[in-house]
Amino acid sequence: SGHYGVLPYYLAITFSNLPIQLVLVTVNATVAYWMIGLRANGVAYLVFVCLCLLSTLTLQAICLVVSALCPSVEVANMVASMILLICAAFGGFFLSAGNIPPYFKPFEYLSPFKYGFHALVVNDLDGLQFNCTAPASAINATIPAAPGTPFCPYPDGMAALKFFGMDQGSIGIDVGVLLGMFVVYRVAVYVVLLFVKVGDD
């Protein structure tokens, strides 16, 4: 109706939604963190919550771009679901970084899941020492020497990270990439709302 411009509308939507996201993500992350039994460390817990919040806001920004570009809710839901599915497929949940074919690498590096998942895993495993009662010969073994024999495939967190191809990079790099994606997609939403008239004749 022309009573207010795109910028006030965009800022109102952004800041009114932020407290809801903050509360919901914090509650869900808190319940999940302690139920899963991750590292009992206050700093690691706070990092976990912040990473979950940043990942959620980045993925939300992607969905906002899609919804702003699509002519209807139905189309937006379909397109957003396909994009998130592709991001999840190459984000480290189903395939480790070393098992992704070279021609699919761009999908890996464009997936926010990759950076959020890597940061969460490093946050919990880096510097962690496992208490293992197996004999020294069983350290780093992938299968026990005999049925029922204790063995230690990962003597520490870094060994587990190397096995899954997650020993490269750092939480700082992951956070920086996620922040960059968040800013880019948020700016893209504003640009789309400002210049693109979806559904106009």
Q: What is the pLDDT of residues 30-69, one digit of tens each?
A: 999 999 988 889 999 999 999 999 999 999 999 999 999 9
pLDDT tens sequence across 98-155: 778 888 888 989 999 999 999 999 999 888 887 766 554 444 555 545 555 556 677 7
- Looking at per-residue pLDDT, the higher value among 170 and 49 belongs to 49
Nearest 10 degrees: Cα torsion 114, 116, 117, 118 = 80
SS3 (DSSP) at 138 = helix
Q: How far is CA 59 from CA 87, 114, 145, in A?
A: 10, 12, 45
Higher pLDDT, 199 or 13: 13
Spatial separation of the C-alpha atoms in residues 119 and 51, rounded to whole Å? 7
Residue 134: per-residue pLDDT: 52
Confidence (pLDDT) at 133: 62
Cα separation, 181 vs 59, in Å, equals: 9
Mean pLDDT of 8-15: 87
